Amino acid sequence: MKHWIAACALTLTQPALIAQTAHADTLVDNIRGETIAAGGSVQAFIALMFDDNGVITAVYHTGERLPRQGKKGYQYRIDGKGHVLLPGMIDAHAHVIDTGFALLRLDLTDTASLDEALARIAAYARAHPDRPWIVGGGWNQERWHLGRFPTAAELDRAVPDRPVWLDRVDGHAGWANSAALKLAGVTAATPTPDGGAIDRLPDGRPAGVLVDHATALMDRVVPTPTPRDLDLALATAEADFAKMGITAVADMGTSINEWLAYRRAGDANRLYIRIMAYALGTEAMATIGGTGPTPWLYADRLHMGGVKLFLDGALGSRGAWLKAAYADQPASHGTPLLTETQLGNLMSRAAMDHYQVAVHAIGDQANATLLTTIDDLGHTYRGERRWRIEHAQIVDPADWPLVATIAAKGGLIASMQPVHQTSDRVMAEARLGPDRLRGAYAWASLKRQGAVLAFGSDTPVERPDPWTGIAAALSRQDKTGAPAGGWQPQERVDRPTALAAYTTNAAWAGFAETRFGRIAPGQRADFILIDTDPMTATPDAIRHTKVFQTWVGGGKTWDADAPAGEAKDKPERPL
Ligand SMILES: [Zn+2]
C-alpha cells in the first residue's frame, strides 16, 4: 500500500527519487480549500501537506506562512492551479459491484419507450451471440409512460431464443421472457411468494414481471458472476467513482463473493476507493466478520462494520409499506419483507456482536415500525449505535418525535439520496396523494429532529454523481429547474449541511470520522480538485462541476488532464 501511495504522490514531480526517499512530505498549495470543521461549519484553507503514508500532516490557513521546500519543509509540491479543493466525496449508499455491472451490461436506464428498449435489447443480443443469458436492467415503465408492467411476450419479440432477465431500475422487480420463465419453472401454478408478487395474465399465467421476493425464483437459475466478472465490475466501478470525485462509499449489502472481490483487490493493491461494507444479511455478516466488525484493512480502505437489512420495497413498484393504501392502488398498502419480530431478531443478532445496523425503509409504515424497533432495542443495546435508516423516504410527521428520541440516545442516521427526490417527485405524488407529501424526502425536518444526514446516490439506481445530489439538496429542483421554487421547498438544506452529508457526516455514519471525511491533520489525504465552489455557486453550476483530480490516501485515482493515450478513467496503477 505504501508503495502505491508514495509512487502516486511522487510521479507528479520527481519519480527518480522514489527509491531514495525515506521521508517525503508533499505540499498541495495554490488552492481554495474548504472542509467541514469539527463544529459543522465550513472552514477555508490555502494549503495542506501530507506524508508518504498518505496522511495529512498540516493544513494552512490564510495568513499562515507556508513551509519551504527542503529537509524541514516539503519535498514535493502539487500546484492546485487556483482550483477549489474539497475533501473526497463519500457516497453513503452505493452498490459497488452492481455499479460496475450496470456499466458493463445491457443498460436500459435512458430508454424513453418500450419500443426503444426492445430495439436496444435485440441489438445487444445480436452483439453478444456467445452469452447463454441476456441479463441487464435499468428499465422503468413509468419513464416509458406504459401505465403497466412490460410482458414476457413483448420481450420474446426482441429475444425469442435465449433466456432474458432484466432488473427494474430500483432493483425491486425483474422482467423475464418466456424462455427465462420456463427455465425458472414459473407457471400459473406457482404460488405468489411472501413479500413478493408475480404479475399475472387474466388466466393466471405469469405475465413476465416478478416483484421483490418473487425475483428469487429467477435468481436460482440466472448464472452467477464468476470471480473474474466481479473483479472487472469492481475495477469499472472504482474508475467511475473516481471521475465523479468520490473517494469512499458505503456498500449497502455486500455479499460474501463481493467481499472476496474487495479482498482480492486489497491484497493486490488495487483498491482505489474506501469501502465501508454492510453485509447483505446476518448470515453474510457472521461469515465475513466472525465475532464482530472486521478491522480496517489496507490502510483504511476496507471495513465491514455492519449489516444491511430490508424492511420493505420501493415506492415505484408499490413495494413500499405504507400506513394507508396507495393513492393510485387503493387495495394495496405495499408489503413488509419482514415481520416486526423477524426484524427485531435480526437487528438484535447484529447488535449483540456490535455490528452497526442499516435497514432499508421507504414507506411510512416501514419507517414507523423500524423506529419503534430501534427504540425497543435501545434499552438492551446501549451506547452510540448509530442506527442507520436507509432511504427514510416517507416518515410520517407523527413519528418525527421518535426520531428525536433515538437520535439523542444511540445516534440515528438518515441515509438519504437527494436525487431520488427529483427523480421520484411525480411518481411519489401519484402513489401518495397530496396529504402524505409533508413527510416525503424530508431532509430538513429529519435533521431538525437530530438525525444525522448522510447523502448518497443508491448507485446504480442513480448515477453516483454527488454534484447532482448537492444541487438537488439545495434546490429540490431537477436539471430543468422544475418545479419552479422547488418541490416541498421547506425541506431544502443549506450548503454546509449538503457538504457535510457527503463528507464528515457520511464518514460518521460509517464510524470512520477519525480516519477520513475532512481535511485535517491525522486524516487520510483524500481530496479532490474541482472548478466550482459549492458554497457560492448556483445549484445549476454545481450540477456541472468539473472534477480535475481525485486523490485517495495521497495517491491520484483520477486526472482529467491525463496525457493523451492514457485512459482517463483508469486509476493510476501501483508500481
Ligand atoms: Zn440501495
pLDDT tens figures, 241-284: 999 999 999 999 999 999 999 999 999 999 999 999 999 999 99
The residues pairing with 85 across neighbouring beta strands, listed in sequence order, are 33, 529
C-alpha cell recorded at residue 115: 419500443
Task: Report the separation in Å between the CA atom of 320 and the middle of ligand 1, taken as the mean of its atom positions.
Answer: 13
Task: Report the separation in Å between the CA atom of 459 and the middle of ligand 1, taken as the mean of its atom positions.
Answer: 7
**For residues 443 and 377, what is the distance between their CA atoms, to the nearest angstrom?**
25
Confidence bin at 569 (pLDDT 50/70/90) = very low
Mean pLDDT (the chain) is: 92
CB 148 within 8 A of CB 141: yes
Task: Report the separation in Å between the CA atom of 555 and the middle of ligand 1, taken as the mean of its atom positions.
Answer: 29
21 has a pLDDT exceeding 80: no
What's the rounded mean pLDDT across residues 489-493? 97
Confidence bin at 572 (pLDDT 50/70/90) = very low
Task: Report the separation in Å between the CA atom of 305 and the middle of ligand 1, taken as the mean of its atom positions.
Answer: 17
Instruction: Give the per-residue pLDDT at 87.
Output: 98
CB 208 within 8 A of CB 235: no
Confidence bin at 8 (pLDDT 50/70/90) = very low
- Amino acid at the residue 397: P
- Where does residue 268 rank: exposed (0-12), middle (13-18), buried (19+ CB within 10 A)? exposed
- Straight-line distance from the first to the last Cα atom of the chain, in angstroms, rounded to the nearest whole number: 10
What's the rounded mean pLDDT across residues 48-75? 94
Q: What is the DSSP secondary structure assignment for residue 482, as one 8-state letter?
A: P
| CA dihedral for 432, 457, 459, 142, sign (positive or negative) | positive
Task: Report the separation in Å between the CA atom of 95 and the middle of ligand 1, taken as the mean of its atom positions.
Answer: 6
β-pairing verdict for 164-168 and 173-176: antiparallel
CA 177, chain centre distance (Å) = 30
Task: Report the separation in Å between the CA atom of 285 and the middle of ligand 1, taken as the mean of its atom positions.
Answer: 17
Task: Report the separation in Å between the CA atom of 322 and the middle of ligand 1, taken as the mean of its atom positions.
Answer: 19
Task: Report the separation in Å between the CA atom of 219 and the middle of ligand 1, taken as the mean of its atom positions.
Answer: 18
- Of the two residues 20 and 384, the one the predictor is more confident about is 384
Task: Report the separation in Å between the CA atom of 129 and the middle of ligand 1, taken as the mean of its atom positions.
Answer: 32
216 has a pLDDT exceeding 60: yes
C-alpha cell recorded at residue 460: 446504480
Q: How many CA atoms lie within 13 A of 112 on its CB side?
A: 0
Task: Report the separation in Å between the CA atom of 336 and the middle of ligand 1, taken as the mean of its atom positions.
Answer: 16
Q: pLDDT tens, 452-489?
A: 999 999 999 899 999 999 999 999 999 999 999 999 99
Q: pLDDT tens, 539-564?
A: 999 999 999 999 999 999 999 988 55
What's the rounded mean pLDDT across residues 363-385? 97
Sheet holding 26-29, edge to edge: 56-60, 47-50, 26-29, 76-79
Phi, psi of 259 (to 5 degrees): -55, -40
Instruction: Give the per-residue pLDDT at 575.
Output: 25
- Of the two residues 443 and 38, the one the predictor is more confident about is 443
**For residues 529 and 561, what is the distance between their CA atoms, to the nearest angstrom?**
12
**For residues 523 and 500, what is the distance between their CA atoms, to the nearest angstrom?**
16
pTM score of the predicted model: 0.85
**For residues 227 and 237, what is the distance between their CA atoms, to the nearest angstrom?**
15
14 has a pLDDT exceeding 60: no
